[in-house]
Amino acid sequence: MNKKFYITTPIYYPSANFHIGHCYTTIIADALSRYKRLNGYDVFFQTGTDEHGAKIAQKAEENGVTPKEYVDEIIENAKDLWEKLEISYDYFIRTTDESHVKAVQAMFQKLYDKGEIYKGSYKGLYCVPCESFWTQTQLVDGKCPDCGREVKEVTEDAYFFKLSKYQDKLLEYYEANPDFILPLSRKNELINNFLKPGLEDLCVSRTSVKWGIPVPFDPDHVIYVWLDALSNYITSLGYPDENAELYKKYWPADLHLVGKEITRFHAIIWPAMLMALDVPLPKQVFGHGWLIIDGGKISKSLGNYKDPREYIDSYGVDAVRYFVLREVPFGADGSFSEEALITRTNADLVNNLGNLVNRTISMAHKYFEGQITNPRVSASVDTDLIQSVEALKAKVDAKMDELKVNEALEEIFDVLRKCNKYIDDTTPWTLAKDENELPRLKTVIYNILETIRICAILLEAFMPTTSEKILNQLNTQARTFATIEKFGNLEEVTLNKPEILFQRIEVSE
Ligand code: ME8
């Protein structure tokens, strides 16, 4: 049986249409999913929307529609965006799905029956836009540490989850599973800022909010948004039915991919909830950095962004995918600007990749009418290229396993660069002038095309359209990972006509 890989993105708030920051997480999850599938894994890739809460109810009211009507439109828009970005998700969960609502109620009841949830009264500092409660010590200059806005004091009857009792268990779990939270800097931050100072019980219901899942035995309360939201990762699989097929097959999740600001919910509250339910814990939570625009986080409430479809329309889907995957180092923040996107596209996709494919296929047509064979007239200059290409798959595998997606791409583009240099070193145009050198010329062209084929197959997870275009131009059937373990599986093919992969983007002054 194939090994399984269950990967999730956060379920985003459909309070406004999604921006390039949401695309960032979703594109990484897509690249990781596609790569695992190519490596033979049975992948379950889940994304979705977190639809309850005060903020969404407020937005709907402002727009004169019901909350459900409001979110339905945004979800339609989001699904269209994911299609345009070629996101290969297997399941899209909505927290308004009836199956999710029922499952969350059953979980709440179970936690209450086990004494893990109790009724009390809540007094706390609440940030409305972030829907987060904070303790006095967590505030920065008296304001919300995430968004810097005012918090307000709130008192009401509420149910609480006994989070405080899980402090030591969580620390033990982190100790026993050193890769549970990545990157490590994020883990240390959580231990020092949240676990060590002591966890407080968590408020899990509200009476002031109406748009949410009612507490099954006390319907004046709605279930407070994080318990509702985090449960999505198992309700989609059929939990609380532990015999549900998907649940048995895919849980525990292999990777929850989230932005750094919600790592603490996934690495503290979520595992504690699962411990309380006697459900196995996910294997890993990766808190990635932010895409920063003009020095600040791109934000729905600040509205400082364009519809990502505008970038796709101007530069093409793969330029956008490539940029976000390549630009941001593992776990760190990266800046997003159209200027940087244009520079990357021109340097890497037009100059390095696009030109290599185009000029090689053009030469093959010019010298051999597109007929490819390999007479194996080798020279020492070939060895370095062939060795690099043969080592590439293992290198990319390792980087992807470590979630260093940008470095995985760097490895592939290094080989492409090497291949461009190989053309300069072997000067096919000189070989073409001498009849006796034609067998050598054929070998040189073969080596370049085989390098291109292998790189194109490795690029499929990152840029599926471009990968397919290249493989179609090569007219090859050898397209699987099994065909790239060694150099030389490109068949004797007749190439298709060269087509430009990426147009240079001219910048008007
Ligand atoms: O937090 N850079 O939803 P949300 C990188 N519903 N990633 C970004 C980003 C940026 N500038 N902006 C957003 C929620 N993201 C909750 C999640 S999960 C059980 C509930 C991405 O709509 C990143 O993944 O605010 C971040 O964590 C997420 O969107 C926040 O989405």
User: 290 CB under 6 A from ligand 1?
Assistant: yes
Residue with CA nearest ligand 1 atom 27: 259
CA 193 remoteness from chain centre: 26
43 Cα to the center of ligand 1, angstroms:
22
Residue at 351: amino acid letter:
N
3-state secondary structure 442-459: HHHHHHHHHHHHHHHHHH
Backbone angles phi, psi at 218, to 5 degrees: -155, 75
The tens digit of pLDDT for each residue in 190-230 reads 999 999 999 999 999 988 788 999 999 999 999 988 999 99
Domains of the chain: 343-494 (1.10.730.10)
Q: Tell me the β-bridge partners of 46.
A: 8, 91
Backbone angles phi, psi at 306, to 5 degrees: -100, 160
User: 22 CB under 6 A from ligand 1?
Assistant: yes
The tens digit of pLDDT for each residue in 152-205 reads 998 889 999 999 999 999 999 999 999 999 999 999 999 999 999 999 999 999
pLDDT at 1: 60
259 CA: nearest ligand 1 atom: 27
How many alpha carbons lie under 13 Å from residue 72 in its C-beta half-sphere? 6
262 CA: nearest ligand 1 atom: 27
User: 269 CB under 6 A from ligand 1?
Assistant: no
pLDDT at 456: 98
Q: Tell me the β-bridge partners of 91.
A: 46
How many alpha carbons lie under 13 Å from residue 299 in its C-beta half-sphere? 12
**What does DSSP say about strands 291-293 and 334-335: parallel, antiparallel, or unpaired?**
parallel
Peptide bond into 183 cis (omega under 30): yes
Task: Return d(Cα 210, Cα 219) in angstroms, integer.
Answer: 10
Residue with CA nearest ligand 1 atom 30: 12
Stretches where the chain sits below pLDDT 50 are none
pLDDT at 301: 63
Of residues 380, 353, 357, the one with CA closest to residue 445? 357
User: 70 CB under 6 A from ligand 1?
Assistant: no
Give the three-class secondary structure for 66. Answer: coil
Model's pTM, two decimal places? 0.94
